[in-house]
Homo-oligomer: A and B are copies of this chain.
Amino acid sequence: MSRAVDRDQLVEANAEFYAAFEAGDLDRMSAVWADGPYASGVTCVHPGWTRLRGRDEVLRSWALIMANTEYIQFVLTDVEADVYGEQAVVTCKENVLTAEQGGESGILAAGSIVATNVFVRVGGNWRLLVHHGSPILNDAEEQ
């Protein structure tokens, strides 16, 4: 398989992670994350949180977050995707528009998150192994 096809499929897998979150669909989110022998190494850092580790703990956090998110939309920018054999790293900026469950109607919050997403290729498909998202407090590009 060519490197360009590898990379396209990787960018698509990365987009599906955010699409699953936007849809609030736990089945789709479960399918995004690596399973089987990789389950114990599944790791997630939500912005401002400490590390969650193990597929079950990570998916529980997503169930909770999605249940408490009324609306969320991502526009991804600065997407960089590098394939290293059967592993890959995607980094991107998440431009987020969100409303929390039970928040005042029409009140949205916007913010920028920087994300590192590590994927592994299993059975020809890229599955998410590590997600680390963090709030951008100090934008070096604007200094």
A114 to B130, CA, bound (A): 13
Q: Is the pair A129, B41 in contact by a Cβ cutoff of 8 Å?
A: no
**Are A136 and B89 neighbours in the complex by a CB distance under 8 Å?**
no
Known A-B contacts A41-B82, A85-B86, A86-B85; the reply to A49 vs B91 at CB < 8 A is no
A133 to B137, CA, bound (A): 13
Chain A binding surface, main DSSP class: strand
Q: Given A43-B116, A49-B138, A136-B48, decide whether A130 and B89 contact each other with a Cβ distance below 8 A.
A: yes
Question: Who on chain B is nearest to A84 by CB?
Answer: B87
Let me know if B80 and A53 touch, CB within 8 A: yes
Given A84-B87, A85-B86, A86-B85, CB of A135 within 8 Å of CB of B41: no
Q: Is the CB of B114 within 8 A of A45?
A: yes
Chain A window 122-143, contacts with chain B (Cβ cutoff 8 Å), 1 for yes, 0 for no: 0000000110111111111100
